[in-house]
Chain A
Amino acid sequence: MIEVDFRAVDRKDLPPPTLDFLHLDTLWLQVTGTLCNLACTHCFISCGPKNDSHPFMSLDDVRGAVESAAAMGVQEIYFTGGEPFMHPDIKEMIELCLEVAPLNILTNGILITPEMADWLAHKFKTAKYSLDLRVSLDGTTPKENDAIRGRKTFDKIIASVELLWNAGINPVITVTTCHADLSAVEGRMKFIELLAEHGITQPRMKFLSPFKIGREERRDQGYADYQRLVEGDLLEGEEHDLQCSSCRMVTAKGVWPCPILIEVPEARMGISLDDAAIPIKLDHPACYTCHVEGVSCRT
C-alpha cells in the first residue's frame, strides 16, 4: 500500500508568508564565520575547524557593521561563530561594540584563558553597557555532553565556566534540547545542581530547540515536506515575536535575515545593513521551527 501525506500535497505549492522589517533591535555578527575549534554533532550551521564557507570578519568589517547599526538605533549586539574567541582581534571588537550598545558573546568557552577571563570581567564592570556571555553545555555529565560536543569537552567547559565565575562574570549556560528530557523541570534542576557543585550559586540558563539543518539534519532527521510556512500561518501579533522582524546577521560575506540561515545562499540579502532593512519571505523549513517553537536566539 502506498502512503500519501496529504498535508504535504496541500502545502507544497502555496506561497510563503512575508514578514515586514520593523526595526534593527539586534545586530548579529558572525565574527569567526563558520570556523570553530569544535565540530558538535548538532551544529545547525556545520561549523568546524575546516569549514571556512564564511571566513573570519576583519576588524573593519565589524566596525562598518556596528557603525551602520548604531545609525539605525540598534539596541544590542551579538557575537557568534564559529567560536568568537578564535579571533585574534576579539578584544578590539568587544571594545568597539561596547561603546555603542550592550554586547552578548556566544561561546563554547574552551578558549577562554585566565587572562581573558580577567579582561572580560574588567570590561563587564566598567563598560557603559551590559556585557554578557553565553556558554554552551549539552549535558550534565561528560557522557551526555561529550556525545554532542566532542571528547573531553565537558571538563573543559566546566573549567571555563568556573574561571569566568571566579573572575566576576556569571555566564548564561545555554543548552540545546537534543536530549528530550533536558528542558523539563527535572532536567533543569540537574543543571542547577551541577552548577552549584562548582560554586555557581546564581545559575543563569537558556534552553534552545535544535534546528534540523546543517549537521543536526544528519544527526537527527530533516524537515518533512509539510513542515513549512505558508501564507496565513502566522498568528496575530506573531511578527513581533519572530526575531527576524527585528534582527539581521552580518558575516564576512554579507547580510542575512537571521543567525539560522547563513548557509542558505538564496537567503543572502546584500552587502550592507541598509540593503537588508526590507521585508523577507519565510520560505525556509527552519522558519517552521521558529513559528512552532517560538524560538529566539536572543538571551
Chain B
Amino acid sequence: MSDMKVLIFGGIYNNYLALEALLEAAEKEGVDQIYFLGDVGGFGPHPDKVFPYLRDTKNIFLMQGNYDHSIGNRLEDCACGYTDPRDNYFAQISYDYTLENTSDENKDFLKSFAPEFRRDWAGKRILMAHGSPRRVNEFLWESTSPVGFLDYILKASDSDVLFVTHTGIPWMREFRDGRKVVNVGAIGRPANNGKTTVDYVIVNTNTLDITLHELAYDHVRLASEMAAEGLPEPFVQTILTGWWTTCLEVLPARERARGIH
C-alpha cells in the first residue's frame, strides 16, 4: 500500500474530550488509519462516554492495555505497576470509579481488543505494543531505554520499527540503520511538561517519516467534570497545569527532574 497516513495514539484515560479533538484532527489531516495502543479508562470522568467514539470510527484498530485487561475482566486493580502507597491510593479511587461506571457491554467490548499489531510498511516490520513487546505493563522511558537495550528488544520481537505507549511521555529514538522506537505518549493527560496539550504521532507509511504532535482540547471542561464527579483533586490539577502530581515514583530521575512535583 503506498503513501498512507496513519495516526497512532494511546492512553485515553476516560478523556473523551481529547479523543473527540483527536478524531477531528485525524479528519483534517486526511488520515487513512488510526491505531489505538490501549488504556481506555482511568483518571478522567464518565468512562462510558469514550466508547461511542471507538465504536463509530471507521478504520480504527483497538489494542488492549493493562487497564483494559483489568476492567474487561472485572479485576480488583489496574495492574499499573506503581510502588508508592500514595500513587496506589489515588489510582485505586479512579480505578474503582471507572469499574463502577463502565457498562457491562463496554467491559466486554474491551475484552475483544487485540494484544498487539504487526504491519509491513515500506518493507519494514512494524510492531505496535502497549508497554513493550515483552510485557504489557513495562515502562519504556527515554532516559532508561539505552540504544543497546532497544536493539535487543527490536531483535527479540522481530521488528524494525516499534511503537509503544503506557508511560504517558512521548519520545523517539532512531538507529543509524533506520530502525526506530517511538513512544507515542498519551492523549488522556499531559506529559509532565507544563503544557495542557496531549500527544500522538502521525506516520507516513511510505517514507516512514514519523512526527510527534501536540493536541489541544477543552481541558478546562474536563477538569470541571472531574471535580464534579469527585475524582482526586491532584488529578484535576494535572489536567489544568500540565504537571504530574501523582505516579511520580515510577518516573526515572531524569524525567522526574523535569517536573515541578
A145 contacts the other chain (CB 8 A): no
B152, B252, B254, B261: the one contacting A73 at CB < 8 Å is B152
Report how far A204 CA is from B87 CA in the complex, Å: 12
Q: A residues within 8 A CB of B261?
A: 202
Please encode chain A, from 15 to 52, with 1 for each CB lying within 8 Å of some chain B CB and 0 for all others: 00000000101000000000000000000000000000
Which of B135, B148, B153, B249 has its CB near the most chain A CB atoms (within 10 A)? B148
Instruction: Determine if B248 and A202 form an interchain contact, defined as CB atoms under 8 angstroms apart.
Output: yes
Which residues of A, 136-191, contact B by the 8 Å Cβ criterion? 168-170, 172, 185, 188
Instruction: Determine if B152 and A130 form an interchain contact, defined as CB atoms under 8 angstroms apart.
Output: no
Instruction: Determine if B152 and A72 form an interchain contact, defined as CB atoms under 8 angstroms apart.
Output: yes
Instruction: Determine if A130 and B252 form an interchain contact, defined as CB atoms under 8 angstroms apart.
Output: yes
Instruction: Determine if A75 and B145 form an interchain contact, defined as CB atoms under 8 angstroms apart.
Output: yes
Which residues of A, 182-209, contact B by the 8 Å Cβ criterion? 185, 188, 202, 204-206
Using CB atoms, name the residue of chain B closest to A171. B253
A130, A172, A185: the one contacting B144 at CB < 8 Å is A130
A223 contacts the other chain (CB 8 A): no
Instruction: Determine if A188 and B85 form an interchain contact, defined as CB atoms under 8 angstroms apart.
Output: yes
Using CB atoms, name the residue of chain B closest to A133. B253
Q: B residues within 8 A CB of A100?
A: 146, 148
Instruction: Determine if B252 and A102 form an interchain contact, defined as CB atoms under 8 angstroms apart.
Output: yes
Known: A102-B146, A129-B143, A130-B144. A185 touches B256 (CB 8 A): no
Please encode chain B, from 4 to 35, with 1 for each CB lying within 8 Å of some chain A CB and 0 for all others: 00000000000000000000000000000000
Known: A101-B146, A102-B143. A130 touches B151 (CB 8 A): no
A267 contacts the other chain (CB 8 A): no
Q: A residues within 8 A CB of B83?
A: 206
Instruction: Determine if A101 and B253 form an interchain contact, defined as CB atoms under 8 angstroms apart.
Output: no
Report how far A79 CA is from B255 CA in the complex, Å: 21
Q: A residues within 8 A CB of B254?
A: 102, 124, 129-131
Report how far A132 CA is from B252 CA in the complex, Å: 8
Instruction: Determine if A101 and B249 form an interchain contact, defined as CB atoms under 8 angstroms apart.
Output: no
Please encode chain B, from 137 to 158, with 1 for each CB lying within 8 Å of some chain A CB and 0 for all others: 0000101111011011100100
Instruction: Determine if B152 and A129 form an interchain contact, defined as CB atoms under 8 angstroms apart.
Output: no
Known: A129-B144, A240-B135. A73 touches B253 (CB 8 A): no
Please encode chain A, from 113 to 142, with 1 for each CB lying within 8 Å of some chain B CB and 0 for all others: 000000000001000111111000000000
Report how far A205 CA is from B249 CA in the complex, Å: 8
B84, B85, B135, B148: the one contacting A74 at CB < 8 Å is B148
Q: A residues within 8 A CB of B152?
A: 23, 72-73
Q: B residues within 8 A CB of A70?
A: 148
Instruction: Determine if A130 and B253 form an interchain contact, defined as CB atoms under 8 angstroms apart.
Output: yes
Q: How close is B142's CB to chain A, nearest CB, in angstroms?
A: 9
A76 contacts the other chain (CB 8 A): yes
Report how far A133 CA is from B149 CA in the complex, Å: 21
Residues of A within 8 A of B (CB): 23, 25, 70-76, 100-102, 124, 128-133, 168-170, 172, 185, 188, 202, 204-206, 240
- A to B CB contacts below 8 Å, 12 in the list: A23-B152, A73-B148, A73-B152, A73-B153, A74-B149, A100-B146, A101-B146, A130-B255, A170-B256, A202-B256, A205-B84, A240-B135
Residues of B within 8 A of A (CB): 83-85, 135, 141, 143-146, 148-149, 151-153, 156, 248-249, 252-257, 261
6 closest residue pairs by CB, A with B: A73-B152, A130-B143, A132-B253, A130-B254, A75-B149, A101-B146
